[in-house]
Amino acid sequence: MSTIKQLWTLAKFQLAVTPGVSYLAIGSGFSCIADFVLFVLFRDSKGPTSLDLLISNQLIYFVLIFGSIWLVPNLGGGRKRQSIGAAGTEFLLTRAVDRHLLFRSRSLLFFFLLLIIPLICFAFSLHQPGQKLFESNGSLYQRVMQELPGSMPQAPDTDGKLKYIFLPEGNILIGMWRIWSPLFLGITTLSLLTFAQKYKYVWWLFSPLGLVLVIFYCFPTVFSHGFFGVERDELDPNTAFFFFYATHQTLCWLIAIPALFLSLLWYERDARQIN
């Protein structure tokens, strides 16, 4: 059986075994597509929007967390069991499959689910590259004007009240960010799990320590629109990270692509040794 055919067979079976993750990916995708498509296609009817709204995508974190359940071969039975019943690791390892391809299929599927919706969004952004931003926060307005390429302040609307910034390739920039940020988090998660699964306390990742990680991941975006109504002056971490990305795009992608391959190889090499 060829490698591709085996990967395809395993990926299909994995999807059937852990349907929850697919539902999450689709669920998060709907929300993701819905807001993005609305902002892209119906921009004029909806009016300018804020950068915060466009760059946050909290639901993708659930795909990250639950998707990673596939990736840890000795998760499921706690400390005592060596392999998963629920995700079918032991079952699949004792079928006619190449050990490394089982783990490769899981990591590829994980990134596929993580990135498929952002990629669709990106396709929409190519259709409508320009974006109008409305920023009431002064410091954010300044940062957009200074750091996002091609930003132009626009004249007030007909009623004379609304003033916005036009970004000729804003949707493409945001679309790329929406691919890069989950990719970056996916690489981080995969590497973290690869490192941690050698140790018998890996299950911590899915208990209190896991909770800490979730907060670590989610905090920047979940609380990005102000905490209990308190206005902020400084940018929240997620927005600051976006500006870092916007000003270092080439560097970010130059790091992400090799890191993706290295993390996949590292994961596959280590996971196949687990026994």
Partner 1 sequence: MNDHPIQIENVSRSYGKTKVLSNLNLSVKKGSIYGFLGRNGSGKTTAIRMLAGLITPDEGSVQILGHDPFLAGAEEKQWVGYMSEKGIIPPNVSISRVLQLGRELYPNWDGALADALVGKYNLTPKKKISTLSQGKQRLLAFIMAIAPKPKVLLLDEPAANLDVVARREILDEVLGLIRECESTVLFSTHILSDVERVADEIGILAGGSLRVSESLDSLKDSIRQVRFYGFPGALPENGIEGGFRTVRGRDEFLVTMRSTGLVTPEEQSRRWKCLYETRPLSLEDIFVELSLYQEPKP
Residues 207-226 that bind partner 1 (CB under 8 A): none
Nearer CB in complex with partner 1: 46/95: 95
The residue within the footprint of partner 1, chosen from 87, 174, 183, 190 (CB under 8 A), is 87
Map tokens 């750091």 to a residue: 147
Rule CB under 8 A: is residue 139 a binding residue for partner 1? no
Contact call for residues 217 and 114 (beta carbons, < 8 A) = no
Nearer CB in complex with partner 1: 87/179: 87
The residue within the footprint of partner 1, chosen from 28, 49, 68, 83 (CB under 8 A), is 83
The residue within the footprint of partner 1, chosen from 42, 91, 201, 261 (CB under 8 A), is 91
Query: Structure tokens of 27?
Result: 């669920």
Give which of 269, 42, 11, 55 is closest to 176, Cα–Cα.
Answer: 55
The residue within the footprint of partner 1, chosen from 50, 62, 90, 241 (CB under 8 A), is 90
Alpha-carbon radius of gyration of the chain: 21
Q: For residues 189 and 182, what is the distance between their CA atoms, to the nearest angstrom?
A: 10
Rule CB under 8 A: is residue 88 a binding residue for partner 1? yes
Q: Beta 165-167 vs 131-133: how paired, if at all?
A: antiparallel
Residues 93-122 that bind partner 1 (CB under 8 A): 93-99, 101
CB atoms within 10 A of CB 63: 27
Q: 60-71 vs 170-196: helix axis angle to the nearest 10?
A: 30
Q: How far is the CB of 11 from partner 1 (least distance, A)?
A: 12
Residues 12-41 that bind partner 1 (CB under 8 A): 13, 16-19
Amino acid (1-letter code) at residue 86: A
Contact call for residues 178 and 36 (beta carbons, < 8 A) = yes
The residue within the footprint of partner 1, chosen from 47, 82, 142, 244 (CB under 8 A), is 82
Question: Helix, strand, or coil here: 161?
Answer: coil
Q: How far is the CB of 97 from partner 1 (least distance, A)?
A: 5
Furthest-apart CA pair in the chain: how many Å?
A: 70
Q: Contacts with partner 1: how many residues (CB under 8 A)?
A: 25
The residue within the footprint of partner 1, chosen from 27, 47, 78, 85 (CB under 8 A), is 85
Q: How far is the CB of 163 from partner 1 (least distance, A)?
A: 53
* Chain centroid offset of residue 73 CA: 22
Contact call for residues 141 and 48 (beta carbons, < 8 A) = no
Q: For residues 176 and 119, what is the distance between their CA atoms, to the nearest angstrom?
A: 8
Rule CB under 8 A: is residue 232 a binding residue for partner 1? no
φ and ψ at residue 167, rounded to 5 degrees: -110, 110
Q: How far is the CB of 202 from partner 1 (least distance, A)?
A: 16
Q: How far is the CB of 188 from partner 1 (least distance, A)?
A: 28
Which residues contact partner 1 by CB under 8 A? 1, 6, 9, 13, 16-19, 82-83, 85-88, 90-91, 93-99, 101, 275
